[in-house]
Chains A and B, each alone.
Chain A
Amino acid sequence: MLTTFRIRRFNPEMESPQPYFQDYQLVTERSDTVLDALIRIRETVDESLTLRCSCRGAICGSCGMRINGHAALACKTKVASMVSSDETIHVEPMNNMPVIKDLVTDMAGFWEKIRQVQPWLQPTGPAPEGEYLAAPEAMNHLTGVMHCIMCGACVSDCAALEVNPDFVGPAALAKAYRFVADPRDGNSSSRLRELNDPGGMWDCTRCMECIEVCPKGVGAMDRIMTLRAKGIEHGVPSTCGSRHTEAFADIIEQKGRLDEPMLAVRTFGLTNLRQLFSFLPMILRALPRRKLPISGPLFRPIPGIDRIRRLFRRAKEPR
């Protein structure tokens, strides 16, 4: 099939360098991956096309790039799965990191954030005579996150990082979970306190892009949610994020459905009246439109709330 590859190019050595798109046409086979095609373009059409790859088998994580708008490993993506005949396939470098040249990004910031979560085991207490032992059932849940090959796909498509470059990001948080949840690690509480800081686990916007694009099924966002649960369990200082979660759960337990104004008041608390009042113009516009929800004691629980409350209580009982 004849396929057009629209590739985002960037050469820093050009005079006033600017990214631009360049089209290449190539006959592709059903078995071709995007990486096969890119290598063929480089070898037979344009030797200046720059990309990074190594294993060609979805193990090394070198060939992360955006294919038709989403991050993926070029070696794991079949051309035929992305486009039909005569369609154009868009190939761009990963997002949320600087571009060095063409499809090659600078991963220094990525690694810096991985280091930030101290990705090594920190056991406490006296060292055992032999190895640190852990029961297989205590480690099974970590196998998914251990599959991470550090390709950067989750970081590339992270919506929270786009608006906050200081966010530590999904890859580093998934790595942090790997140690927080390791039964041999002794520093879970201090790790969770650090992850509770601005830019940490509460800065994820729960968009699930990281889950969707991960070529290894790590499910970074699910790990971030577990970190939040563990943080609350360990009693880390409250943040707007944790207060929001706690208040949400309380309201559902009491009413069965959401009392939105109450949630806002309890989330921002009396410590952040300024933020609460900043919503006043919106509230004033909502009022004449009869859009301001009933709140507090006037907000009635759903019929059958007793059952919902019992379910809450039973969920807390040991299994």
Chain B
Amino acid sequence: MKYAFFPGCVSKGGCPELYQSVKQVYPRLGIELEEMTTASCTGAGVLQEKDLRLGDILNAHTLALAEEQGLPIMTICSTCQGVMSQANHRLATEPGYLDDINRVLAEEGLSYRGTTTVKHFVWILLEDVGEEKLRQAVKRPLTGLRAAPFYGCYIQRPSAALGFDEQPARAQSLETVITLLGAEVVDFPGKTRCCGMPLLTINEPGSLQMVAHHTSDAKEHGADVMVTPCPLCHLNLDGLQTKAAKQDRREIDLPILHLPQLLGLAMGLEPRALGLKRNLVPTTSVLEKLGVA
């Protein structure tokens, strides 16, 4: 199981604990990674607001690099995943589009044939590593921990571009992983909703309202912790939770873990190695619950 690893900007920027924790867990699952150092940012849907084709050119460049390596791409960010999946989908389905983009890539001596698959780490866990191997990797089952999933929009919608028809289990992938790690899934209506991150620049109170709503709602449904495969959601749900709680005049204090952090805990890894001290909402309550503190 070897992948071209696309870490994304945020795991190298605002959420370094995500990069740190995925580095800890992947070798224990029989995964090999080759990091894509010359691939650009996907555009995160933001660059695409200005120029969709430019975004598709940049992503086709990344897809072509992986194709040359003969490797599928592994992402650790819902947004990177969604944006690249959408680009791949357009290149595969819009008549003449791949040729148009390839004319631009040709001047760099590149061509994309459309064969690269892009998979988020959470899908790889279930589809490639497999439930049995994942169970074997669990050394400290998260028994008694109640975890609320929070997906991030780009790994849920539009489902047509994300391969949900061929792989319907992807829609529930977080719940499946949480269960396999021994924790209890806390289902709540906000798990597939927007975290508010893209709204932050134009409507900060609205963005914070989403943070306060989802985190407090998960807590009211009994969650000890929230887990997300999206570092952009993490920036909002963890980074701005205190500000959101203040705006909403309530206490929330719900720890938000990156998926590899939760997985690492179940593998019996040290909290410090997983960067759990770097999350802004303290994660001590989670560690106490697991008897790790």
Q: Is A26 in contact with chain B by the CB < 8 A criterion?
A: no
Q: Kindly supply a per-residue 1/0 record for chain A positions 207-222, scoring 1 wherever the CB is within 8 Å of any chain B CB and 0 otherwise.
A: 1110110000000000
Among A252, A256, A291, A311, the residue within 8 A (CB) of B14 is A291
Which chain B residues border A257 with CB–CB below 8 Å?
A: 9, 12, 40-41
Q: How far is the CB of A37 from chain B (nearest CB, A)?
A: 23
Q: Which of B21-29, B47-55, B112-120, B284-292 is near enough to bind chain A?
A: B47-55
B194-A282 in contact (CB<8A): no
Q: Is B203 in contact with chain A by the CB < 8 A criterion?
A: yes
A252-B43 in contact (CB<8A): yes
Q: Is A121 in contact with chain B by the CB < 8 A criterion?
A: no
Bound Cα distance A240, B206 (Å): 15
Among A163, A209, A249, A289, the residue within 8 A (CB) of B277 is A289
B57-A315 in contact (CB<8A): yes
**Which A residue's beta carbon lies closest to that of B157?**
A208
Q: How far is the CB of A144 from chain B (nearest CB, A)?
A: 13
Q: Is B250 in contact with chain A by the CB < 8 A criterion?
A: no
Q: Which of A224-238 contact B (CB under 8 A)?
A: 225-226, 228-229, 232
Q: Kindly supply a per-residue 1/0 record for chain B positions 246-288, scoring 1 wherever the CB is within 8 Å of any chain A CB and 0 otherwise.
A: 0000000000000000000000000000000111100000000
Q: How far is the CB of B275 from chain A (nearest CB, A)?
A: 9
B194-A207 in contact (CB<8A): yes
Chain B interface size band reads 35 or more
Bound Cα distance A260, B231 (Å): 13
Bound Cα distance A208, B43 (Å): 16
Bound Cα distance A252, B39 (Å): 11
Bound Cα distance A208, B158 (Å): 7
Among A241, A258, A285, the residue within 8 A (CB) of B41 is A258
Bound Cα distance A234, B65 (Å): 35
Q: How far is the CB of B149 from chain A (nearest CB, A)?
A: 15
Q: Is A248 in contact with chain B by the CB < 8 A criterion?
A: yes
Which chain B residues border A36 with CB–CB below 8 Å?
A: none
Q: Which of B66-74, B100-108, B135-143, B221-229 is near enough to bind chain A?
A: B100-108
A205-B46 in contact (CB<8A): no
B58-A207 in contact (CB<8A): no
A163-B40 in contact (CB<8A): no
* Interface size, chain A (Cβ < 8 Å): 57
**Which A residue's beta carbon lies closest to that of B109?**
A307
Q: Which of A288-319 contact B (CB under 8 A)?
A: 289-291, 293, 302-304, 307-308, 310-312, 314-315, 319
Which chain A residues border B58 with CB–CB below 8 Å?
A: 252, 308, 311
Q: Is A194 in contact with chain B by the CB < 8 A criterion?
A: no
**Which A residue's beta carbon lies closest to that of B209?**
A163
A314-B107 in contact (CB<8A): yes
Bound Cα distance A239, B202 (Å): 8
B16-A203 in contact (CB<8A): no
A159-B201 in contact (CB<8A): no
A315-B54 in contact (CB<8A): yes
Q: Is B182 in contact with chain A by the CB < 8 A criterion?
A: no
Q: Is B84 in contact with chain A by the CB < 8 A criterion?
A: no
A159-B242 in contact (CB<8A): no
B189-A163 in contact (CB<8A): no
Bound Cα distance A159, B214 (Å): 12
With A244-B46, A290-B16, A315-B57 as given contacts, are A307 and B157 in contact (CB-CB < 8 Å)?
no
Closest 9 CB pairs of A and B: A163-B206, A207-B194, A304-B38, A258-B9, A208-B157, A293-B13, A315-B54, A159-B194, A205-B199
Residues of A at the B interface (CB closer than 8 Å) are 69, 159-160, 162-164, 202-203, 205-209, 211-212, 225-226, 228-229, 232, 239-241, 244-246, 248-249, 252, 256-260, 267-268, 275, 278, 281-282, 285-286, 289-291, 293, 302-304, 307-308, 310-312, 314-315, 319
Instruction: Provide a sorted-by-A list of 19 A–B residue pairs whose CB atoms are within 8 angstroms.
Output: A160-B199, A163-B205, A163-B206, A203-B199, A203-B202, A205-B207, A209-B157, A229-B50, A239-B202, A248-B43, A252-B58, A258-B41, A282-B280, A286-B14, A289-B278, A302-B38, A303-B37, A307-B108, A311-B54
